[in-house]
Structure 1
């Protein structure tokens, strides 16, 4: 039970990340790039592998745009809120917030 509590504490966190738009005039970040960056950010922050992140759509390159992805970890699935905080030239900065409770 102690491990489960630790897992919940690890997952109920926020992170900040940035992605570069790949082409001229791009208006969104591909879902696969958001998935990879979210996984990398969580893994780096906690020293554990968070490889199973799934985003159903691309992330619009607009401030305050939001999408909800899913993270599966230790047989639990949690929503991950991705919110664009700013867009600077071809860089999209966004927050990552993992839900406190599993789905």
Structure 2
């Protein structure tokens, strides 16, 4: 590391102003959203690393660089391109210094346009079945 000594107060003041301006710029730096094509690659990479199979990911919207922002993409496989699973990417952190956007990926448990199994709280009666009445 090289250290430079400043001999004049004016030089020191100029240096401090320059450093403050640089720090201000880096702290105020705006982070760009994640473009759809970059998002597709990052999601596919993460899922391939986790499951050992590379999915086909399609994203139509960018992911805003704001904590809590989310967007939904579609997952298919080369073997079954007609079955589409929604994939939600949710921003967990934004590093304005490096420009990195961190996000979690969640794949839906059921394919898009399919019905999830319905839970029944209580047995239901069939409306067309006759009821028996006792005449005691």
TM-score (norm 2): 0.55
What displacement does 1:49 show? Answer: 1.9
What displacement does 1:48 show? Answer: 1.2
Output aligned runs, 1:13-52, within 5 Å. 25-50=30-55, 52=56
In structure 2, what is the equivalent of residue 79 of structure 1?
A: 86
The structure whose RCO (Cα within 8 Å, separation 6+) is larger is 1
Query: What SS does the corresponding residue of 1:28 show, helix, strand or coil?
Result: coil
Task: Name the CA distance, whole Å, in 1 between partners of 2:72 and 2:64.
Answer: 12
Query: What SS does the corresponding residue of 2:87 show, helix, strand or coil?
Result: strand
Structure 1 unaligned spans of 5+: 1-23
What displacement does 1:47 show? Answer: 1.1
Structure 2 unaligned spans of 5+: 1-28, 113-136
TM-score (norm 1): 0.71
Aligned residues: 79
Give yes or no for the alignment of 1:97 onto 2:106: yes
CA RMSD of aligned residues (A): 1.3
**The structure with more radius of gyration:** 2
Structure with a larger share of its residues in strand = 1
